[in-house]
Amino acid sequence: MIEDMLQYLNVAENLLWQADAYQRTDVYDIVLRALVDAKLYHKAFGVFKNMRSCSFAADIATYNIMIECCSKLASFRNASAIVSLMLRDGFWPQKWTFTALIKVLLANEDFEGALNLPGQLRTEGIELDVQLFNTILREALMKSRLDLIEFLIESMHREKIQPDPSTLWYTFNAYVESGFNNTAMEALQVLSMRMISEEVEILQEKRAIYEELILSEDPEVELKIIEIFNDSQEFLATALMNLRWCAIMGFSISWSPEESQWAKRLAAGVCTLNGPRSPVRDHWIF
């Protein structure tokens, strides 16, 4: 199917000269997207180079596809060249562009470079989000970098970026895989509370509503939590189920997550960064 598409493109290129610029770009974007999805990254670069040699205009979608291609090939050099072309054509990098560049840096195990980019993104006035943090957290988990995970979690908290289920999964598993099971449970509880709300006052309001769902010994309570999930409140339902599991495992539930020793240690640690994390300090301190 891919070969048929490329043959069609070769035939169509002779006709594209007569089409308007938007039609030409759309055709190439479709082909590039298909090649990247099929993991034919080098062929995608070949098509992109041919597009450039024909002086066909690219759009922001074209550049985002090619930066994603670079992230799959772990080629920061090519990604930088793509960004240079993007800027030359008058397109400013978007949040997705920075996320793709972070993936390239992480593929090369350049954690310092990856941590610097969100600071640049903030300087450009682009709002940080949980997906961007999760991109780095995932790689930090794979490399068993607990120091980076803790730095990122505290940075998210200072920016009041609520964690999502992926954030919890990466953090919990990082501690479990390192043998820190009690810390894993404490982190799970704190992050589940933050997933409900980052505001202490709101948490206290929610406590009156949801504490029974967490502490009740009635197994039917879990059906009520599932109903919350079915009402498109999956983050809240996930947080409640996590907290209920913590309670069943014998851990006391605190609705004041900032009183957690784990949370206090992370807050103090970011203020006194040293060792392998010190290069981050000058670029990304909240």
The Cα 9–Cα 284 span in angstroms is 45
Q: Supply the pLDDT for residue 56.
A: 84
User: Averaged over 178-196, what is the pLDDT?
Assistant: 96
What is the model's pTM?
0.79
Lowest mean pLDDT among 156-170, 181-195, 251-265, 270-284: 270-284
Question: Inter-axis angle of helices 181-196 and 146-158, to 10 degrees?
Answer: 20
Q: Supply the pLDDT for residue 138.
A: 94
Residue 85 pLDDT more than 90? yes
Asked whether the beta carbons of 32 and 66 are under 8 A apart, the reply is yes
CB atoms within 10 A of CB 49: 10
Q: Supply the pLDDT for residue 8.
A: 60
User: Averaged over 238-253, what is the pLDDT?
Assistant: 93
Q: Which residues contact 22 (CB under 8 A, 6 or more apart)?
A: none
Residue 275 pLDDT more than 50? no
What tens digit of pLDDT does each residue of 113-153 get? 888 888 788 777 888 899 999 999 999 999 999 999 999 99
Asked whether the beta carbons of 225 and 236 are under 8 A apart, the reply is no
- Of the candidates 94, 166, 92, the one whose C-alpha atom is nearest the C-alpha of residue 136 is 166
* In the chain, where the domains are located: 1-108
Q: Supply the pLDDT for residue 5.
A: 72
